[in-house]
Amino acid sequence: MSKINMNHFNKAYIAIVLAFILALAAYDISYSKTNAETETTTNQPTDTKTTEESGSSDDEEKAEARKAELAETITTPVASNATTDEEASRMAEFSADYADDIQSYSVKDIATNVAATLELDETAAMAQLLTDLPKEVDVDSAQYQLVNKLNPLLTEPVMDFAYANSGKEYNAAITDAYTALIDAAASAGYTLSTISAHRTIAYQAQNVENGFQDYLAQGYSESEARDLTNAYFAPAEASEHSTGLAFDWLGTEWTGISGSLDEAYADQPSAQWLSENAQDYGFILRYPQGKEQVTGYSFEPWHYRYVGVEAAQYIAQYEITLEEFLALVNYQTALAEEGLA
């Protein structure tokens, strides 16, 4: 009887020990699994990094969207010579009469046109335009003053005068630039005659009337004469000759055969020299062919305007106008002010 009870005891003891061992094993497995999961979680990239990357991506998208918005809303200047709202309103009334002659183009439009010329996509063209654009341009400087049918003058600009080889007066501030260009042309074999330089607003008003009467005398109807006058004669308040920075130049090889201010002058050697070299002395061909709706005037191969060497070379490089240059400068300024440059 005692032997039987001992066997039962041994079996019970063994069962208890086995149960304990199994419990320890189960705990160890559970502990190991928990540690493994913890290590895996610890070694994985944190949610903070993902959040930062997402936030950075959102910021970049917002910045690009804002740049695109500015490129569509910043245009070639309008009423830039106004100092008050009242003056801007008067200029708007003036410009309304020339709505068919001149348009305002956005920075996006400018980039699109340059992209086509350079055979680039628009994004690449915009990047190149901004990279090469002269920095820290003071648009309030006299050399950048814009005068056209969207930006008329209300008062006469004040300046000191110097005198061209023909006796015509111009803004004395650019004497060195004028002299350098005339001398360089002479060294290349071309004598440039200054047909016109500074004009007062009153003088330009008479000039416009004379032009209109001349077209009538040539047999044009009043309507035709007015259209021709608008195409080639700036309204009294919208002539940049009033700045003293604009010149009408003709080579003596052209005037010597009775050539006048005519588009045909473009084929003359002196006109081609000007087109290729004027920018190196700070002058631009002010009214290029194909830009009539930007400038408001027909192609004038004789009309040059001083803007400074850096701006002139940039304008010539990208085949744009003063209007477009100023729009790009204003865009660059807006980007910098908003921390988007």
Which SS3 state, helix, strand or coil, does residue 302 take?
coil
Count the neighbouring beta carbons within 10 Å of the beta carbon of residue 132.
12
Q: How many helices (H) and strands (E) does the chain have?
A: 13, 6
DSSP letters along 34-85, please?
HHHHHHHHHHSPPHHHHHHHHHHHHHHHHHHHHHHHHHHH-BS-SSTT-SSH
Give catalytic status of residue 337 as yes or no: no
For residue 159, give every residue at least 6 positions away whose Cβ sits within 8 Å of its Cβ, in sequence order, or none: 142, 171, 172, 173, 198, 243, 244
Catalytic residue among 300, 319, 337, 338: 300
Cβ 324 vs Cβ 110: under 8 Å = yes
Which SS3 state, helix, strand or coil, does residue 266 take?
helix
**Cα 273 from chain centroid?**
27
User: In degrees rounded to 5, what are phi and psi of residue 23?
Assistant: -65, -45
d(CA 133, CA 163): 32
User: In degrees rounded to 5, what are phi and psi of residue 34?
Assistant: -65, -45
Q: Which residues are catalytic?
A: 300
